[in-house]
Amino acid sequence: MAEYLERPDGRIAYDDSGGDGPLIVAAPGMGDLRGSYRHLAPLLVDAGCRFVSMDLRGVGESTVEWPDYSDAAIGTDMTALVNHLGGGPAVLVGNSLTAASAVIAATEAPASVRSLVLMGPFARDVPAPA
């Protein structure tokens, strides 16, 4: 059953295996759902991890009306979820589009991130602010 993280502009749906093992937060690729990790989750739980998968903004059971759907915005959702779940640090898993989000999250909130798992990364070169 879905749980929800309330954000200033909407709500993010997530599934939490519970437990007190090392926290892993996984985000799916663009257009996919948190359920894409349904086969991986039990393996990690059996290995003693707390596995959490999230829907992206506007996808699945997350709310639709967001002012920002960028990689950076998804990265803030990832770290907000880590903080909501106890602060981590957590392993962030990003697939395709959300690989960039995980990288951004790690650079913006390094204390919340233990390590990254980037699958099929779509981490592109974004110009630095002036």
Q: How far is CA 41 from CA 5, 14, 46, 52, 125, in A?
A: 20, 13, 9, 8, 31
pLDDT tens column, 23-59: 999 999 988 999 999 999 999 999 999 999 999 999 9
Torsion of CA 25, 99, 77, 114, to 10 degrees: 50
pLDDT tier at 125 (50, 70, 90 boundaries)? low
Query: Quick count: other Cβ atoms within 10 Å of Cβ 10?
Result: 17
Bridge-partner residues for 3, per DSSP?
Answer: 14
pLDDT tens column, 74-88: 999 999 999 999 978
Domain ranges (residues) in the chain: 3-119
pLDDT at 130 over 70: no
> Can you give the pLDDT at residue 120?
80
Q: Residue 117: which residues within 8 A CB-CB, separation 6 or more?
A: 91, 92, 93, 94, 102
Q: CATH code for 3-119?
A: 3.40.50.1820
Share of the chain above pLDDT 70, in %: 93
Strands of the chain, DSSP E:
3-7, 10-16, 23-27, 50-54, 90-95, 113-119
Q: Show the tokens assigned to 74.
A: 């998804």
